[in-house]
Amino acid sequence: MAGDTLTSSGYIKHHLTNLTFGKHPDGSWGIAQSAAEAKEMGFWAIHVDTMFWSIGLGILFLYFFSKTAKQATAGVPNGLQNFVEWLVDFIDESVRGSFSARNALVAPLALTIFVWIFLQNLMDLVPVDVIPELAKLLGIHYMKVVPSTDPNATFGMAIGVFILVLFYSIKIKGIGGFAGELTLQPFSSNNVLVNILFIPVNFILEFVSLIAKPISLALRLFGNMYAGEMIFILIAIMYNAGLILGLFGGVLQLGWAIFHILIITLQAFIFMTLTIVYLDMAHHEH
């Protein structure tokens, strides 16, 4: 696709296609050279750009926070230490307000989720053509820089939370207690035979509610970030096509970017808060 003149639809498809590594139809493994080829690689294909940016941002987060912790002083904090302390206090208050049990994992998990997702979302503020054009100079034709616009990333994080929910549900309530929650509510009776008849209905209702937790986490984050990225791309198309000119185009981009700061922060906060709430539910019987 290098060297071709892109139409508007081709431009959008190009910017929404991940750098994909997988198995080619001839049995060899390598990088897909087109969106159609990436799609044919199937389930075992890896989105290299999503992995690179998400892991890289995670390492960046760990580096700065660990560096701040090691250099923390009891005196007047520097700017970075002051920011980290404020963020830790904010997360701690959020956990105290939504999580009533005692679990030393929840606060660090909430901090990690919030900062990591925020950093991933923040990449959406990078001008849409800058990094892809730099990647082209290196011979890389596709490069998506916002991991949270890839459902593989959002579902990966949501499934991780879901596994923790299942783990603590069974650990706190036991297998019998967890199975009882799935089969003996919301409909119950003092009559044993009626309860047995209600088991399939209760299981269907509770199982749907259980499965909806990771799906809602993943799709909410993906949908909002994907829509935001699409708007940036559409503004870039209109600017390049001359439909919006000069200063107005810059103001439009800046206005949406400022508004988008609220969205990327809110989506990270919602994912974190729902994680805390789901884990709290796992620690208590209904």
Of 8, 78, 188, 216, which one is the catalytic site residue?
216
Cβ atoms of residues 202 and 184 within 8 Å: yes
| DSSP E strand stretches across 14-110 | 20-23, 29-31, 46-47
Length of the chain, please? Answer: 286
Tell me whether residue 224 is one of the annotated catalytic residues. yes
Of 34, 195, 220, 240, which one is the catalytic site residue?
220
Residue 99 backbone zone (phi > 0: left; psi -120 to 50: alpha; other: beta): beta
DSSP state of 242: T
Is residue 187 classed as helix, strand or coil in its secondary structure?
coil
CA separation, residue 30 to residues 17, 19, 24, 36, 77 (Å): 16, 11, 7, 14, 49
Q: Which two tokens stand for residue 245?
A: 């000119």
Handedness of CA 267, 271, 276, 282 (dihedral sign): positive
CA separation, residue 118 to residues 127, 143, 212 (Å): 17, 20, 23
Tell me whether residue 220 is one of the annotated catalytic residues. yes
Tell me whether residue 216 is one of the annotated catalytic residues. yes
Catalytic residues: 216, 220, 224
